[in-house]
């Protein structure tokens, strides 16, 4: 075993790798960007070094700088985690050239599986079933459109490089193909530096089931059972579990054999995942699944496998990379019980799952029997717009699937995050959904049940707004009283009344929108009500209030309401823009593309711009017909949440 490792990653996976490395006695070295100064992974490691500016291309993707640093400080190996450089064959080669052990597969295996089109051709030769489609080199939009017509709609356009749903679009009609191809290619180019795509048949009622495999340098390849990753949104995994519901032993054995064949076909060494799409319309049959791709790295959902096998996959990675044989043979690997993982993201289900960044004012993560939490942030820290918005992974293990899901549901109910909005309530609703509990789901389940899962705009939470405003007014009164020892008779803080009752108007911003309150003070008793007469209290459930410097975050049932009092002498002129044609950046990110210029006439629903944040693209559309006014930023610019991008003005008559 080597004596040291540099972890070329950040967040929860960096913390995860550091813990195992320390247990094995390795010297642990963290790197961090300007935005991650003081982050938990930098303090957990034995030493930490700043590598570059906040954008990933200047830091966590700067392979040459990372290799140079590793050589300078005497690191023996580099663990890339997942994402960033983990599937970069050139980086793996650079490590080897510098005398560093790359904790991952050989560069040749990465290349073989890195391009989906070449990988599918290789799998066909190895006897692994693949999805019907076009996987060739001709990238002419006209030719690809013709192929899509021949395959038959619906089809999937998929980037040939990378993974994680980037550069992937479902197309249901011939007239939609060109715009979908343009979007997929652009996203693929931005994410992977390669705009090429393939086109394949979209499988009806698809289930996404993957096999964890491990190989060593002696030609041995084993599987560590499957994970069902069918609960997805925008092709991003949301909840993963093992064993896969309704997967019979015969089909499991066929998948395992195909996965091992895939690994052996490329001389695989280390941890890898072979992903299959299964047609569940007629049940999960041995002849009803197809190879999708192979992830040549550790997966985000690897704790699910660790829970059912009792193994440490990161330790296996280190041992195999050090030249050891696999710790166990296939016959010695056992599965026990059921495990399920939920990805807690800083995103807002009420606003189309827009990423949510900012300071974490409070963070309470669950604990208890059968619960594991992998986290890379902390209370007082910040979720930045530069990286994936994952806050934590919450994993539950139980003797049965129902027990594991019950434990996960309870754990999600105990989770509290104040500041960035999170998807905890959405995840809990998924865990409790009767169809999911019954195993009656596929990759389209979330999109088909958004309303049931509490996704989309919800009614104004009057009780939460009142509770937050009351807390802020009480704090204001306490500060005023403490600062005014002379007891001003006109002060609102002392409840003094000349007429027996005082009624005061209070203005606040609730989730960024102006809301009016009426504060009544009579006989020293204060009462607060909404101007529109909404009830001041809700019977259940209880509220949790987290007070920050100038605002309050009110949480209940996983939903957050943010309240901020407005100084009447400093009214925000932007409030007048509510309901206007103002187009604002929905989150911190990069203005990836502009489709209009000043003076253009647009119709309601026309595409205006694309903002990219946290590895996701968000299309902004015209809220009404009109003329494009002044454009505030050029394509390529970094923009803050709420930044004015443009206005849609009434057309001249």
Q: Give the residue numbers annotated as catalytic, written as ranges.
A: 297
Q: Does residue 31 contact residue 380 with C-beta atoms inside 8 Å? A: no
Q: Does residue 97 contact residue 78 with C-beta atoms inside 8 Å? A: no
CA distance 94 to 89: 9
Q: Does residue 242 contact residue 227 with C-beta atoms inside 8 Å? A: yes
CA distance 606 to 79: 45
Helix axes 63-73, 89-97, angle to 10 degrees: 30
Query: In this structure, what are the phi and psi dihedrals at residue 592, rounded to the nearest 5 degrees?
Result: -70, -40
Cis preceding-peptide flag for 315 (omega within 30 of 0): no
- What are the Cα distances from residue 198, in Å, to 177, 185, 233? 13, 10, 21
End-to-end CA distance of the chain: 77
CA distance 277 to 203: 8
Q: Does residue 618 contact residue 354 with C-beta atoms inside 8 Å? A: yes
Identify each DSSP E strand in 497-578 by its residue range. Answer: 502-510, 513-522, 525-530, 544-547, 552-556, 559-565
Q: What is the DSSP letter of 422?
A: -
**Nearest of 104, 158, 486 to residue 273 by alpha carbon:** 104
Question: How do the residues of the chain divide into helix, strand and coil, expressed in percent and rounded to 5?
Answer: 30, 30, 40
Q: Does residue 32 contact residue 50 with C-beta atoms inside 8 Å? A: yes
Q: Does residue 227 contact residue 247 with C-beta atoms inside 8 Å? A: no
Q: What is the DSSP letter of 164?
A: T
CA distance 140 to 513: 47
Helix axes 11-23, 313-321, angle to 10 degrees: 70
């Amino acid at each position: 075993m080597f004596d040291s490792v540099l972890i070329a990653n950040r967040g929860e996976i960096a913390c995860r790798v550091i813990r195992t490395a320390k247990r094995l006695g390795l010297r642990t070295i963290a790197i961090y960007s300007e935005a991650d100064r003081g982050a938990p992974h930098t303090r957990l490691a034995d030493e930490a070094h700043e590598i570059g500016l906040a954008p990933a291309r200047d830091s966590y993707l700067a392979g040459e700088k990372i290799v140079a640093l590793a050589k300078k400080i005497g690191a023996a190996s580099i663990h890339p985690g997942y994402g960033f450089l983990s599937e970069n064959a050139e980086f793996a080669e650079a490590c080897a050239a510098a005398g560093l052990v790359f904790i991952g597969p050989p560069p040749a295996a990465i290349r073989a599986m890195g391009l989906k089109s070449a990988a599918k051709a290789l799998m066909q030769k190895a006897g692994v079933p693949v999805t019907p489609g076009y996987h060739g080199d001709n990238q002419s939009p006209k030719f690809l459109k013709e192929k899509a017509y021949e395959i038959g709609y619906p089809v999937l356009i998929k980037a040939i490089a990378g993974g994680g749903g980037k550069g992937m679009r479902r197309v249901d009609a011939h007239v939609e193909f060109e715009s979908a191809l343009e979007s997929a290619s652009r996203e693929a180019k931005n994410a992977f530096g390669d705009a090429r795509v393939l086109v394949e048949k979209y499988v009806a009622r698809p289930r996404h089931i993957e096999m964890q495999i491990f190989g060593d340098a002696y030609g041995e390849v084993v599987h560590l059972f499957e994970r069902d990753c069918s609960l997805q949104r925008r092709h991003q995994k949301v909840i993963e579990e093992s064993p896969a519901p309704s997967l019979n032993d015969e089909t499991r054995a066929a998948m395992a054999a195909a996965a091992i064949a895939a690994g052996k076909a490329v001389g695989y060494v280390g941890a890898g995942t072979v992903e299959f799409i299964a047609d569940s319309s007629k049940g999960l049959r041995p002849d009803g699944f197809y190879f999708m791709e192979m992830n040549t790295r550790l997966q985000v959902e690897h704790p699910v496998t660790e829970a059912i096998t009792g193994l440490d996959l990161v330790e296996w990675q280190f041992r195999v990379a050090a030249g050891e044989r696999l710790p166990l043979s296939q016959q010695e690997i056992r599965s026990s019980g059921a495990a399920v993982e939920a990805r807690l993201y800083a995103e807002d289900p009420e606003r189309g799952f827009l990423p949510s960044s900012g300071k974490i004012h409070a963070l309470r993560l669950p604990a208890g029997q059968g619960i594991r939490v992998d986290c890379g942030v902390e209370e007082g820290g910040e979720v930045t717009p530069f990286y994936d918005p994952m806050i934590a992974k919450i994993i539950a293990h139980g003797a049965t699937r129902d027990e594991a899901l019950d434990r996960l549901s309870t754990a999600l109910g105990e989770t509290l995050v104040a500041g960035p909005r999170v998807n905890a309530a959405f995840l809990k609703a998924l865990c409790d959904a009767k169809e999911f509990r019954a195993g009656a789901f596929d990759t389209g389940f979330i999109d088909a049940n958004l309303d049931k899962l509490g996704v989309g705009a919800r009614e104004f939470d009057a009780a939460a707004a009142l509770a937050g405003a009351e807390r802020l007014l009480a704090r204001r009164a306490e500060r005023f009283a403490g600062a005014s020892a002379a007891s001003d008779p006109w002060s609102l803080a002392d409840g003094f009344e000349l007429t027996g009752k005082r009624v005061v108007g209070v203005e606040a911003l609730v989730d960024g929108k102006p809301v009016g309150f009426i504060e009544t003070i009579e006989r020293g008793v204060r009462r607060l009500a909404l101007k529109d007469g909404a009830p001041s209290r809700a019977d259940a459930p209880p509220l949790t209030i987290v007070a920050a410097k100038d605002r309050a975050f009110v949480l209940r049932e996983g939903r957050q309401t943010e309240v901020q009092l407005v100084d009447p002498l400093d009214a925000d002129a932007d409030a007048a823009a509510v309901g206007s044609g103002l187009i604002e950046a929905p989150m911190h990110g990069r203005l990836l593309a502009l489709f209009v210029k000043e003076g253009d006439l647009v119709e309601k629903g026309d595409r205006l711009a694309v903002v990219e944040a946290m590895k996701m693209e968000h299309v902004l559309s015209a809220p009404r017909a009109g003329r494009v006014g002044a454009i505030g930023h050029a394509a390529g610019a970094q923009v803050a949440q709420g930044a004015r991008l443009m206005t849609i003005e009434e057309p001249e008559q």
